[in-house]
Amino acid sequence: MSAGPSDRAAVLGLGIIGSRASTRLAGAGWDVARWNRTPKGLSGEVSSPEEAVDGAAVISIYLKDSSALREVAARIEACLEPGQTVLNHSTVDLETTLWLEQLCTARGCRFLDAPFTGSKLAADAGRLVYYIGGDAALAAELDAYLSTTSRERLHCGAVGAATVVKLATNLISACTVQAMAEALAISTRHGVPAECLIDAVSRNVSGSPLAAMKFPGMVAGNYETHFSLANMGKDSRYMLALAAAAGVETPAIAAVSKRMAELSDAGLGGLDYSALAKPYFESP
């Protein structure tokens, strides 16, 4: 599905990703109605989510968490029309994903579970990766639309599968960044230059794009937000709920989730989640 002369898209949620995704859609020729709880001053913004979805062929949702998604979905429910397509890009718990699918189906709308990986720079460049849960034929129909904001689309299975995959990958990222922070603190306090550790990791099987991305900021004390500590903490709680439902013990993410909650409560929640390193490098 590519933009035609009268195709309208609605983007609900104009945070780091939603604002950039909506700009790329507008640049590709879509008539984009944008809405955010706190106005951002962007072109095409409307005053309510109900107004945004009116007449939209595709509704893309980039909201912060499950409670925000449920609140906004309840507001737009009566406005949804048969044939509209709803894409949920928000990272939420599995129960909320399945609830939203049921709501959309009851209104005659088509639905895809479509969370993403990638942060600010990827969104700017249209280089997100979408994990897709839902009908494969619908996903194929929407590929051109999704390609405007992404470099890849990975079909994971039925609705809900993409939510599980997204949370599982965030579990790995959260635990990895905490391990990186600990390794950096231990090494530097024993007199090893940070650059030496970073070089060693890059030559080791523990090296990764995540390590290459986050280590320099940790060393520089630059925690510019690409994905906030508060949001990763929120996702960790969804991970723990998934684990409990599956009867799986997860001591690593349980410990990291507790740490993220403590640091968020201490005022670091708005920083990038690489701020897991920040307490190690503050003066006593």
Task: Dump pLDDT digits (tens) for 179-233.
Answer: 999 999 999 999 999 999 999 999 999 999 999 999 999 999 999 999 999 999 9
Predicted confidence (pLDDT) per residue in 249-262, tens digit? 999 999 999 999 99
What pLDDT does 283 receive? 62
Asked if the model's pLDDT at residue 143 lies above 50, the reply is yes
CATH 3.40.50.720 domain range(s) in the chain: 8-158
Q: Domain 164-281, what fold? A: N-(1-d-carboxylethyl)-l-norvaline Dehydrogenase; domain 2 (1.10.1040)
Asked if the model's pLDDT at residue 4 lies above 50, the reply is no
The CATH number of the structural domain formed by 8-158 is 3.40.50.720
CATH 1.10.1040.10 domain range(s) in the chain: 164-281
Quick one: pLDDT band at residue 5, thresholds 50, 70, 90?
very low
What pLDDT does 119 receive? 85
| Mean pLDDT estimate for the chain | 96
Predicted confidence (pLDDT) per residue in 209-219, tens digit? 999 999 999 99
What pLDDT does 1 receive? 61
Asked if the model's pLDDT at residue 76 lies above 80, the reply is yes
* Angstrom distance (rounded) from CA 180 to CA 186: 10
Predicted confidence (pLDDT) per residue in 154-163, tens digit? 999 999 999 9
What pLDDT does 220 receive? 96
